[in-house]
């Protein structure tokens, strides 16, 4: 697990954007795993800026989003399909037919989950999976107690997660408590994983994910077992870690080995 600690949200987003840009330069048709929520918004703004500057093209890329609310169609303003369209897809040169989000309005959600797994396999697997982390350690909508080998499925959201997302819904608006999500086993099959975390509200979850035991009570802790997982944190999200100086030393040495430092 590579731990990168940066000073600001903007630096976290720039680091994440560079990973996507580097991958697409080497593999223009890469399969990208994308995420929603507050944390990725700055990353998407940064990617849009780089696209407008001519630094990256998404023309041949394929995307798979982590999750979607069950019961919301893609044109619902609170759906994650709508989020991705407005926050990223509408502003870059991606082929919209190559962007996939679980179908929250599917008549048979279980069959739709199986079909989503099939689509990922047919794409050759995900090259780079973007993640955020919930305050309770969830990744995607894999809440605490989720099987560490789980596949794409329907999940019941915890009251804490529902409350955390309540700010996105109007007081009289239907807010789902069920979601379709890639499973932890699915996420772990990505060739590379990039988790971004910012703000002191994520500090406890980050500490459990990095320094706690690998356990279903903190789903993100499974990333300790991935050979190419990178956690990019700002200072506030890293403040609960026991040895920040050691992680920074390791990263400096990593960069030196890669020839990025003079």
Scanning the structure block, which residue is given the tokens 């989003």?
65
Report the interhelical angle of 39-52 vs 80-87 (nearest 10°).
40
Which of 68, 103, 143, 234 is labelled catalytic?
Answer: 143
Going by their DSSP bridges, the two strands 62-65 and 99-100 should be labelled as parallel
Which of 65, 68, 103, 138 is labelled catalytic?
Answer: 138
- 197 with 230: CB under 8 angstroms? no
* Catalytic residue flag (residue 138): yes
Let me know how long the chain is: 262
Tell me how far apart the alpha carbons of residues 234 and 199 are, in angstroms, rounded to a whole number.
7
Going by their DSSP bridges, the two strands 178-181 and 67-69 should be labelled as antiparallel
* Catalytic residue flag (residue 68): no
Tell me how far apart the alpha carbons of residues 45 and 16 are, in angstroms, rounded to a whole number.
11
Tell me how far apart the alpha carbons of residues 208 and 218 are, in angstroms, rounded to a whole number.
7
The per-residue DSSP string of 73-132 comes to -TTSTTSHHHHHHHHTGGGS---GGGEE---TT-SSHHHHHHHHHHHHHHTTS-SEEEE-
The per-residue DSSP string of 174-235 comes to ---SEEEE--HHHHHTSSEEEEEE-SGGGHHHHHHHHHS--BTTBGGGGGGG-TTEEEEEEH
Number of Cβ within 10 Å of residue 48's Cβ equals: 17
* Catalytic residue flag (residue 65): no
Which of 65, 136, 142, 165 is labelled catalytic?
Answer: 136
* Catalytic residue flag (residue 211): no
Active site residues: 67, 136, 138, 143
């Amino acid at each position: 697990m590579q731990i990168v600690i940066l000073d600001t949200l903007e630096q976290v987003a720039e680091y994440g954007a560079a990973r996507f840009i580097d991958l697409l330069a080497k593999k223009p048709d890469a399969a990208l795993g994308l995420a929603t929520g507050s944390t990725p918004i700055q990353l998407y703004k940064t990617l849009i800026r780089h696209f407008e500057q001519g630094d990256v093209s998404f023309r041949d890329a394929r995307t798979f989003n982590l999750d979607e609310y069950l019961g919301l169609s893609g044109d619902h303003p609170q759906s994650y399909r709508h989020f991705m369209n407005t926050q990223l897809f509408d502003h870059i040169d991606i082929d919209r037919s190559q962007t996939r989000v679980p179908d929250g309005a599917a008549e048979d959600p279980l069959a739709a989950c199986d079909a989503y797994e099939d689509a990922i396999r047919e794409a050759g697997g995900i090259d780079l999976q973007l993640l955020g982390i919930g305050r309770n350690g969830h990744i995607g909508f894999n809440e605490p107690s989720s099987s560490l080998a789980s596949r794409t499925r329907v999940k019941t959201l915890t009251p804490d997660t529902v409350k955390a997302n309540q700010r996105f819904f109007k007081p009289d608006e239907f807010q789902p408590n069920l979601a379709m999500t890639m499973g932890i086993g699915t996420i772990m099959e990505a060739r590379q994983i990039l988790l971004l975390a910012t703000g002191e509200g994520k500090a406890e979850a980050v500490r459990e994910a990095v320094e706690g035991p690998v356990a279903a009570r903190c789903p993100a802790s499974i990333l300790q077992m991935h050979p190419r997982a990178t956690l990019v944190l700002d200072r506030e999200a890293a403040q609960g870690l026991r040895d920040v100086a050691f992680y920074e030393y390791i990263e400096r040495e990593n960069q030196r080995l890669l020839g990025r430092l003079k």
